[in-house]
Amino acid sequence: MELVTPGFGLVVWTIITFLFLLFILRKFAWKPILGAVEEREDGIKSALASAESARKEMQNLKADNERILNEARAEREAMLKDARDIKAKMIADAKDEAQSQANKMIEQAQTAIESEKKAAMAELRNQVASLSIDIAEKVVRQELSNKDKQLQLVESMLSDAKLN
């Protein structure tokens, strides 16, 4: 029954034992336990700080990646624009060259046509002159074959010469 109603001595010895145990725990166990808790707390704070630092670093890397990606897009667009400009210039140059060549060919063709036309006209004149001479020769032969006609022709020429 003593345990149900503890005596004064038991309470004192329990308090003394408790205090002694508290002193021994404080002297030998409390510091290592608190040190371990503080070390763990510092580790957690350090891990949180590292996580925050890593998060900020990730944001910075993400921002850098976005910036680099935007720069790459801008550079790609500039290169495409340059390529389109070069293509347009090459096409324009080719058109100009083709137009120049066409104009030169047309001019050469016109010159050739003109020279051929002149040559044809000269040939035609020569043929007309030759035909005229042939016709005149035949007419004169026919006219001169008869003596009366020869005299008549000479008189006609003389009368024409006096009139001039």
CA distance 106 to 101: 8
Task: Report yes or no: 113 and 119 within 8 Å, Cβ to Cβ.
Answer: no
Write down the pLDDT at residue 6. 67
Question: What pLDDT was estimated at residue 61?
Answer: 94
Per-residue pLDDT of the chain (164 residues; tens, 9 = 90+): 455 676 788 889 999 999 999 888 888 888 888 888 999 999 999 999 999 999 999 999 999 999 999 999 999 999 999 999 999 999 999 999 999 999 999 999 999 999 999 999 999 888 888 888 878 777 777 766 777 777 777 777 777 765 54
- Please give the distance of CA 154 from its chain centroid, rounded to a whole number: 92
Q: Residue 5's pLDDT is what?
A: 72
Q: How far apart are CA 61 and CA 55, in angstroms?
A: 10
DSSP state of 145: T
> Please, are residues 135 and 128 in contact by the beta-carbon 8 Å criterion?
no
Instruction: Evaluate whether 143 touches 153 at the Cβ level (below 8 Å).
Output: yes
Neighbours of 150 (CB within 10 A): 13
Distance (Å, rounded) from C-alpha 31 to C-alpha 34?
A: 5
Res 31: pLDDT: 81
* CB 150, CB 144: distance < 8 Å: yes
What's the pLDDT score for residue 164? 45
